[in-house]
Homo-oligomer: A and B are copies of this chain.
């Protein structure tokens, strides 16, 4: 299937109406942003950008698509011919994948004619909302895990294709591996998994099951010990595998209490290097509670892949600037009571002091950085001079991704996912958050839109 039908009907009826009215070729700037973070979230993590760029590259209507649209009777033949020839020919700039976002961060900017850019709304939002929802939740879980490796294993709780994207998003925010084979195959993410309860139940005794698993997977495997009686299972597994037993997995009951008991038992059996992993309805709060338990890793599923209670960051795709009848560009924005938007394309920088992020700077109009800096300096020096200024830098957040319809980089390479993982790690480190503060709080840095506000943050 092409990506072109992953689209809401209204994008095509708008295109059709604009073509008939002669406004379809007006130059337009669309931006993707969210107005706020979910309650308690300190930051969001952008994920899916690589997949968006793939989808834009693949966005073309094939014969089956066009037959369907023709049959629907909603578009005229001339519009259908236009769609048949459609290739996105505009520009895309955006935050790097793995980068953090805050309220009003312009994470993606699409520029082109109205008819070029309007059709991408649904597929762009689907991908960024989905992948970023998971990445934003997962990043909190990784922080709570304090370096203990986490396996993503939630594929069974989400749409079967979404499972692959979920594993990708989880890997970007620092998950060690995934249970999902398709994600392993597509994105070269390490895969993990050994056995479920069904394996133990298949055999006439737990001992036979463990013997079979260890014979097949080696002593380094992870044995699931809670099918019948945990203590008996641990003894049996060590008896068979010896102290080389890789790990035991707990999947039910009070994980914290059991971890202490199982650690003591393993140590008493000489299996001091055997690890203990925990699974079962874990999220950042449960993982945080397990900090003191002698656990060596977590398997995290449902709560991760469903976005930890906030499945989509609420990204919207808004027209912020467009050519008018006069041929000039004009900022535009809705004035509805509760959803007013700032017009005009925006530039975004992370304001860094030393090695710490202090603000998300979102400036209307790309040309105004110099003005911002003058304003900021004037503000800072009008009062007491702030020594921090010398250590302050502005990291540009928007990078060119597609120019004139051509991808700037090869965005399908596995290196894309690794680069996003590195970007995420670096940007989270810049926030300087400690897991001791718990996962919840206000946005870690404020979003500022001019030099006066920025100066207030620095002083």
- CB under 8 Å from chain B, chain A span 118-143: 118, 121-123, 125-127, 129-130
What residues of B have a CB within 8 angstroms of the CB of A385 in the complex? none
Which listed residue, B6, B185, B217, B334, touches A197 by the CB 8 Å rule?
A: B334
A132 CB, min distance to chain B CBs, angstroms: 11
Which of A22-30, A95-103, A432-440 binds B?
A22-30
Q: Are B163 and A6 in contact (CB under 8 A)?
A: yes
- CB under 8 Å from chain B, chain A span 24-45: 26, 28, 30
What residues of B have a CB within 8 angstroms of the CB of A367 in the complex? none
What residues of B have a CB within 8 angstroms of the CB of A253 in the complex? 336-338
A178 CB, min distance to chain B CBs, angstroms: 9
The answer for the CA separation of A157 and B122 in the assembled complex, in Å, is 9
- CB under 8 Å from chain B, chain A span 268-283: none
A157 and B129 in contact (CB under 8 A), knowing A9-B191, A21-B216, A193-B8?
yes
**In the complex, A285 has a CB within 8 A of chain B:** no
Q: Are A251 and B336 in contact (CB under 8 A)?
A: yes
What residues of B have a CB within 8 angstroms of the CB of A192 in the complex? 9
**In the complex, A455 has a CB within 8 A of chain B:** no
Q: Mark A2-21, 1 if CB is under 8 A from B, else 0.
A: 01011111111110111011
A360 CB, min distance to chain B CBs, angstroms: 23
A227 and B312 in contact (CB under 8 A), knowing A55-B160, A160-B123?
no
What residues of B have a CB within 8 angstroms of the CB of A364 in the complex? none
**In the complex, A179 has a CB within 8 A of chain B:** yes
The answer for the CA separation of A390 and B187 in the assembled complex, in Å, is 61
A202 and B18 in contact (CB under 8 A), knowing A5-B185, A55-B160, A184-B68?
yes
What residues of B have a CB within 8 angstroms of the CB of A333 in the complex? 201
A298 CB, min distance to chain B CBs, angstroms: 16
Question: Which A residues lie at the B interface, using CB under 8 A?
Answer: 1, 3, 5-14, 16-18, 20-21, 23, 26, 28, 30, 55, 64-65, 68-69, 72, 74, 114, 118, 121-123, 125-127, 129-130, 153, 155-165, 179-182, 184-185, 191-199, 201-204, 208, 211-213, 215-217, 226-229, 251-253, 302, 306-307, 311-312, 314, 317-319, 322, 324-325, 332-339
Could you give 10 example pairs across A and B, Cβ below 8 Å? A3-B160, A6-B155, A6-B163, A9-B179, A14-B195, A122-B155, A197-B318, A201-B322, A302-B312, A311-B311
The 5 closest A-B pairs by CB, nearest first: A10-B193, A9-B193, A21-B212, A159-B162, A17-B216
